[in-house]
Chain A
């Protein structure tokens, strides 16, 4: 990767940071009002309002706010959330582990299962198993996570009573060690299943299509002619070659990990980034909005960078610019 590429990345970062600062400020609505709410503002004196505006730095000219923001980032300080009254970094670090546990596991499981089923199904193109899977996933692909989540919650949580109705752990159960872990898994199961079921279909469909195309390629015919075992052809030849689009897709998804899953988090009252972002936008909490988007932007740029590094290892043709 040449110096030019690195400059490209830096340039993208600068643009992202600037947009990140200015865009939320274009939203209509007074942050003071959104933060303090009408209940408090109804009794608030003009002097108190001025004092609060000053405290939040909202009275400073825009360029000065921008400068403070930049120098903060350099120092690793993402600012102070108006609404949550805490450092943005702490808020992000508080929500991130739960989000990564939920969306990270969902991504890994759905990609693994989707890929394996995709290869197997494409290999058996036209047969009953393939038709069954294809129909099933096409059907599933039409449902948003919201619907699947509600369905799972109603059936397993409400009707059968096998799973808790929400949250990430039983509050104040004084559980420790293995029983705590089991409790966390117990709470995780339904939201995780909902996300896996939503994501699995697109991975499966993508893999299957790639596999079906690849099977027509001459190098597969050659491999068969050489007498290589079908299982080896399936994964070493077809499987490996169909990885490329999956890696791209997973790279894109990885960036989204950090933004959480708003609907699933809402339905299952699961703590995470999705709800944090949602509340930040509703409250016009500029520092928090900026903090979240800064984090997401940096992560996406990093992932892109790594995906570019990984490509040549999966497919040497990329390195030779033959693609």
Chain B
């Protein structure tokens, strides 16, 4: 920086008075203009900023976009801190098995932000509107018919017993005001003010796409109680600057790197640890030898030290992968599955049994740059069991495309979505996406997976999921290596938390609107 003074000095040297004058002017202006911050404003920072106009059809299709919308729009049901569904627009609900129908008792006296009363016909309207204009976060395909029994009761008939409905539809679908949305033919491009009339705890005051900022004010008439803060503000900051801004009090909450959490703890801030919603996963090309052989996949599982991966590549900020796939903090987790403790001896035996005893086996591992240190550790581990791994690092999208086309041997990549309804297990085993193992050769597993979707009773469903996890760990369609942690820090003004299992259909963002309600 001495250079800048040097420059000013040189300015005099060239006798360019104008430059010198301007520099001094600019400098003095800056020193006099100070930032001011309003104490009634609660500020949350993130690194992306812009997540789209926060109406249901215009927010960007990422979790934080949905969350910004969820402050304005309510769903029938909503999750509390522990992931339990509590009433939002519906205060009670029941399932009538014989009719395959849910009845929702709606909360009386709820008003839209424009003063109109919310009624059962808004709910009926929302279902029919979503059939016409698909909303990518909610699949209403399973809904046969929706009927308003009276102003405060809605009956939803399903095509079949479908367990994910309660979280993925009733707990995720924003209810739209009929009197407004009935006139909106192209909701994807509609960004007028009235597209933002909801029933939620906040109303939008301003959204600035370029600056990536949002300003909300509270809805004083919110039916669950008046929100604690008058105004809520979202701003965009560089990753490294967010901790600084929190320490200075300019920001109340935001993401911080793992290295800084101790500093914040010492200073009395609250550190929020994400649940294990995301996993790094090793996938096999099940259409090829030797990967199609169960023994080979098991050998790999024994041959990779997953604990070491967490300790070295994640510097301890994560959790060792569960061979049964479902993360241990999930209510659906079943612990008694084969754990494949690190055992290179056993791995070598299995390979020998397959006939790979003598010469080294040469294989290729495809991955992207973010996993390169994991890949190196895996390469070292596998060398010890007689597999020589060649690592190919490509750009994320290319890795995904090659996985989709089965143009790989083994792939190391990752995906989220492990928090929501356990339907994700079906998608990740039988689904067609490249994140999925696309594993169809175990008929029993297939049947159990299909069955679990139809069981509405939670404890009964847990039993089926236990069997599924047992088979998954035995068959290893793919191997979960670890679940990383991420951290957010907040001051103690508002009790922000990570909702267990993620918000709505499983969004790992620590901004549940219920935090703002007494």
Contacts and interface: CB of A to CB of B under 8 A. Distances in A.
Interface of A: 27-30, 33-45, 47-48, 51-52, 55, 80, 83-86, 91, 94-95, 98, 112-113, 116-117, 120, 129, 133, 136, 140, 151-153, 155-158, 161-173, 179, 182-183, 185-186, 189, 193, 197, 266-269, 271, 284
Contacts of B14: 116-117, 120
Contacts of A91: 209
A85 B188 contact: yes
A282 B442 CA distance: 37
Contact of B505 (A43, A112, A129, A157): A43
A122 B336 CA distance: 79
Contacts of B31: 162
Contacts of A152: 1
B416 A193 contact: no
Interface string B13-33: 110100100000010011111
Given A36-B136, A94-B209, A182-B29, A29 B238 contact: no
Given A27-B397, A29-B400, A157-B241, 20 more contacts: A28-B398, A30-B404, A33-B433, A36-B61, A36-B136, A42-B415, A48-B139, A84-B52, A84-B209, A112-B19, A153-B241, A155-B1, A170-B35, A171-B235, A172-B206, A182-B29, A182-B30, A186-B30, A193-B4, A197-B3
Interface stretch (B174-182, B211-219, B268-276, B310-318): B211-219
Contacts of B241: 153, 157-158, 165-166, 269
B512 interface: no
Contacts of A116: 14, 16
A158 B244 contact: yes
Given A42-B427, A152-B1, A185-B29, A51 B19 contact: no
A173 to B, nearest CB: 6
Given A85-B52, A171-B213, A29 B61 contact: no
Given A43-B139, A185-B29, A189-B30, A269 B236 contact: yes
A163 B30 contact: yes
A155 B191 CA distance: 41
A182 B30 CA distance: 7
Interface string B414-443: 011100100110011001010100000000
Nearest to B18: A112
B291 interface: no
Given A38-B417, A152-B1, A168 B63 contact: no
| B10, B191, B212, B237 interface centre (most CB from chain A within 10 Å) | B10
Interface string B210-249: 1111010000000000000001010111100100110010
| B16, B33, B396 interface centre (most CB from chain A within 10 Å) | B33
Contacts of A120: 13-14
Nearest to B428: A42
A28 B137 contact: no
B60 A166 contact: no
Contacts of B138: 43
Given A117-B14, A269-B241, A172 B141 contact: no
Given A129-B13, A151-B1, A185-B30, A165 B237 contact: yes
Nearest to B1: A155
Contact of B238 (A172, A183, A266): A266
B507 A136 contact: no
A246 B248 CA distance: 44
Contact of A52 (B52, B134, B168): B134
A307 to B, nearest CB: 26
Contacts of A44: 136, 139
B3 A271 contact: no
Contacts of B33: 179, 182-183, 185-186
Given A85-B58, A162-B30, A269 B10 contact: no
A43 to B, nearest CB: 6
A170 B43 CA distance: 12
B96 interface: no
A133 to B, nearest CB: 7
A57 to B, nearest CB: 14
17 contacts: A36-B61, A38-B435, A39-B63, A39-B416, A42-B435, A43-B420, A44-B136, A48-B136, A80-B189, A84-B60, A94-B210, A133-B10, A172-B206, A172-B233, A185-B33, A193-B4, A269-B212
Contact of A165 (B1, B136, B245): B245
A208 B390 CA distance: 51
A167 B211 contact: yes
B211 A166 contact: no
A112 B10 CA distance: 13
B235 A167 contact: yes
Contact of A185 (B10, B26, B420): B26
Contact of B401 (A30, A47, A167): A30
A201 B208 CA distance: 36
Interface string B134-164: 1011110100000000000000000000000
B49 interface: yes
Nearest to A112: B19
B212 to A, nearest CB: 7
A166 B52 contact: no
Contact of A33 (B4, B236, B245, B400): B400
A34 B434 CA distance: 13
Given A36-B136, A43-B168, A173-B36, A167 B236 contact: yes
B10 A117 contact: yes
B68 to A, nearest CB: 14
Interface in B89-131: none
| A158, A164, A168, A269 interface centre (most CB from chain B within 10 Å) | A269
Contacts of A117: 10, 14
Interface in B245-282: 245, 248, 250
Given A155-B1, A165-B245, A40 B136 contact: yes
A40 B32 CA distance: 48
| A40, A157, A169 interface centre (most CB from chain B within 10 Å) | A40
B62 interface: yes
B215 A172 contact: yes
B171 interface: no
A289 B111 CA distance: 43
Nearest to A152: B1
Contacts of B19: 112-113
